[in-house]
């Protein structure tokens, strides 16, 4: 087949012509390979057929998208970058970013669930887990189980080194105690990556990473958080606090070594920001599509809105904002670094908010109505500047690495 791809049993698979693996190539190009174009088209068609027509209803009813997630699982997209021997497609990060973007364009809630599951859970276990951990915490997570990422706490968001959840060694077990906040998909999830400190005085050097089945005794999931956007009590994606009370897990459930947890978290957040950036690009594209379709159909002053200079200027601005964010996101997915992922997330989140605002303005009064998708895009876009690290932190990271690179010259 052209591009070395084929479809088998409803699942995207690879032939002998393999895509470039995750971090092998650091050469950025705007030209997608045939393989990447194929996975993009697969995700785009899925979004148009299975997500876009129902996204508004899911949002209003607050229904978790179980059926779409299962269909994405059947296509292999819940393990896009997971090695094929563990049930994944073995594709690179750019392919995964393309999938997140297209799915988020169809339904931001579904895109968010897919992004976090892949970038922050499945990829972590795939790349850093032992064979035993992959057998327990990865294979079934490419077949329908949902994974979560639990780093933030009530008193530790951007300051991840300040986490208070403790890990105490007890023979062949670790005992975890604490509370994690904003854990996306934790109500429906089966396991979570949990970060805890075994020595608070060591700050970031005292943190370890653990894999915790969410049905373990002592794990308590709270109520859905009532916040705007995709992760709210009456929307399709969910987030809640997870309390750990004397949770006993085998020593073999620790990922890496003691003291490596903070490094693992930061490396995974570099990936996670790519996912959020792609998520934001998808939302922005959906807002642009909504505004364009409305402007072409709506007439004012005897002519189409697209003929009005003010509306045309807004549409032009929206297009440039989307393309700018898209290019930075693809660059970050091709050359993964803290600086690149922070730039992509910052610009994509900021631009998505601007594009969604233009969309509301073009629709006028209808832009404020829940009968139309503009207000949903507006809500969905706002969260992309917060979760995964607020914009202020992204700018700080970019500035830090910019100066570091300059000093190295």
Complete domains list, the chain, with CATH: 22-142 (1.10.540.10), 147-262 (2.40.110.10), 269-408 (1.20.140.10)
Residue 346 clears pLDDT 50, i.e. is over it: yes
DSSP assignment letter at 31: P
Q: Pick the residue with more confidence: 5 or 201?
A: 201
Q: Give the pLDDT of residue 244.
A: 97
pLDDT tens digit string along 210-263?
A: 999 999 999 998 876 655 544 433 366 778 899 999 999 999 999 999 999 999
Residues 297-335: pLDDT tens digits?
A: 887 787 789 888 999 999 999 999 999 999 999 999 999
Give the β-pairing of 219-224 and 254-255.
Answer: unpaired
Asked whether the beta carbons of 154 and 222 are under 8 A apart, the reply is no
**Which stretch of 20-34, 53-67, 224-238 has the lowest confidence by average pLDDT?**
224-238
What SS3 state is found at 296? helix
Cα torsion angle, 348, 61, 154, 176, sign? negative
Q: What is the pLDDT of residue 9?
A: 35
Dihedral of alpha carbons 93, 289, 34, 324, sign: negative
What are the C-alpha distances in Å from 22 to residues 25, 83, 279, 314?
8, 10, 19, 37
- Alpha-carbon gap, residue 325 to 280, rounded angstroms: 8
CA distance linking residue 308 with residue 285, whole number of Å: 21
Query: Shortest CA distance to 177 belongs to which of 159, 162, 157, 194?
Result: 194
Select from 211, 163, 173, 176 the least CA-distant residue to 191: 211
Could you read off the pLDDT of 74-133 as tens digits, one per residue?
999 999 999 999 999 999 999 999 999 999 999 999 999 999 999 999 999 999 999 999
Q: Is this prediction's pTM over 0.85?
A: yes
Instruction: Say how many C-beta atoms besides its own lie within 10 A of residue 16's C-beta.
Output: 5
For residues 330 and 94, give the distance between their C-alpha atoms in angstroms, rounded to a whole number. Answer: 6
**Distance, first Cα to last Cα, the chain:** 46
For the stretch 93-113, what's the b/e string if a residue is b when 16 or more beta carbons lie within 10 angstroms of its beta carbon? bbbbbbbbbbbbbbbbbbbbb
pLDDT in tens, 198-222: 999 999 999 999 999 999 999 998 8
Compute the mean pLDDT over every residue in the chain, rounded to the nearest whole number. Answer: 89
> Phi/psi of residue 76, each to 5°?
90, 5
Range name among 17-21, 63-67, 224-228 with the lowest pLDDT average: 17-21
């Amino acid at each position: 087949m052209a591009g070395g791809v084929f479809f088998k049993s409803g699942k995207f698979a690879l032939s002998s012509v393999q895509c470039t693996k995750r971090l092998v190539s650091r050469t950025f190009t705007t030209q997608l390979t045939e393989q990447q174009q194929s996975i993009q088209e697969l995700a785009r068609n899925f979004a148009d057929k299975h997500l876009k027509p129902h996204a508004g209803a899911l949002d209003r009813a607050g229904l978790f998208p179980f059926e779409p997630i299962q269909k994405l699982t059947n296509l292999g997209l819940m393990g896009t970058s997971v090695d094929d021997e563990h049930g994944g497609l073995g594709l690179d990060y750019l392919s995964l970013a393309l999938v997140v973007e297209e799915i988020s364009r169809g339904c931001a809630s579904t895109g968010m669930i897919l992004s976090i599951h892949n970038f922050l859970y499945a990829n972590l276990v795939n790349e850093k887990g032992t064979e035993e951990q992959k057998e327990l915490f990865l294979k079934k997570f490419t077949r329908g189980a949902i994974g979560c990422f639990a780093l933030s706490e009530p008193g530790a968001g951007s300051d991840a080194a300040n986490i208070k959840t403790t890990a105490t060694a007890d023979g062949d077990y670790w005992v975890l105690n604490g509370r994690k906040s904003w854990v996306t998909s934790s109500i429906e999830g089966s396991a979570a990556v949990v970060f805890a400190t075994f020595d608070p005085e060591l700050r970031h050097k005292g943190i370890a990473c653990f894999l915790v089945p969410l049905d373990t005794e002592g794990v308590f999931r709270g109520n859905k958080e009532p916040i705007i956007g995709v992760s709210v009590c009456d929307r399709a994606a969910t987030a809640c606090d997870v309390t750990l009370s004397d949770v006993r897990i085998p020593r073999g459930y620790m990922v890496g070594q003691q003291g490596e947890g903070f490094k693992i978290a930061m490396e995974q957040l570099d990936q996670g920001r790519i996912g959020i950036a792609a998520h934001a690009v998808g939302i922005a594209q959906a807002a642009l599509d909504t505004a364009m379709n409305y402007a072409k159909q709506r007439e004012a002053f005897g002519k189409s809105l697209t003929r009005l200079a003010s509306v045309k200027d807004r549409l032009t601005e929206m297009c440039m904002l989307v393309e700018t964010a898209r290019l930075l996101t693809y660059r970050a997915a091709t050359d993964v670094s803290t600086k690149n992922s922070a730039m992509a997330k910052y610009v994509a989140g900021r631009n998505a908010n601007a594009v969604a605002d233009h969309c509301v303005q073009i629709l006028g009064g209808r832009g404020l109505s829940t009968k139309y998708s503009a207000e949903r895009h507006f809500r969905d876009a706002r969260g992309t500047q917060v979760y995964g690290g607020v914009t202020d932190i992204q700018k700080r990271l970019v500035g830090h690495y910019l100066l570091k690179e300059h000093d190295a010259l």
